[in-house]
Amino acid sequence: MTDYRALMADLAGTVTRRATALAAAERAYHEGMAAAAAELRRAEKEAEESDRRAAAAASAVVEVDREAERLWSDLQRTRAWPGHRPGTVPEPAPATAQPALDVDDDASTAVLARVAHQIHGGPPRIGIGLSGKLPVLVPPLLPLLGAATSAITALAASALLALANLDPPGVGFLRLVGGLAYFASPFAGIPVAAGWARRRWAARLDTGAVALTVLGGLFAWCAVIITLA
């Protein structure tokens, strides 16, 4: 009986150890399956995000290429000095020479906006500055521009003063505007020349360019005075 009880006790201990080992193995199996499922879901999400970014990058490349071609066509249609017209659209830089693409930043948009501003003009955007230089053939044309603008302004002012002499309604306002325009006509070419330089070459007029423009305006103003005297 004593040996029988000892054998039964050993058997019970073996069964208990077996049940414990099976429970531990089953628990480890479920934990491993859960970890594998979580890793699979993470990998699937990363794959979906990679596909999304790849699609966005491909779309961005297409849009940038289309906008670059449009701007290049606009640049080819602008007036330029002989020998300065652009040729075909340049090829993109090699992929190894380009920075890593980030579809969330607007670097490409900023570059295209700057190019569009320099081609079409308009108020500066995205921190664009005026750092260009006037071509060599432009400064000799500034006196002619100043003279033409000054002559047109002086003639228009003279017409206003002549109209004011007819004593219409608002004669005081006409005389004021005509007088101011008449005496300011030598300087009327400055904003025209400055706008021309900014729109075409993203440049500012230096002191010499302003002086040439005003000099031409003064000659035209004197010519108008002599002609109308």
Using left for φ > 0, alpha for ψ between -120 and 50, and beta otherwise, residue 51 falls in: alpha
pLDDT digit string (tens) for 179-192? 898 899 999 999 99
pLDDT digit string (tens) for 78-122? 645 444 555 666 666 665 555 554 544 556 666 666 666 656 554
pLDDT digit string (tens) for 127-147? 334 456 788 888 999 999 999
* Inter-axis angle of helices 142-164 and 171-184, nearest 10: 160
Q: What is the pTM of this model?
A: 0.46
User: CB-based contacts of 23: which residues, under 8 Å, 6+ apart?
Assistant: none
Confidence of residue 124 (pLDDT cuts 50, 70, 90): very low
Residue, of 84 and 46, whose pLDDT is higher: 46
Of the ranges 7-21, 67-81, 201-215, which is most confident?
Answer: 201-215
Mean pLDDT, rounded, for 34-58:
89
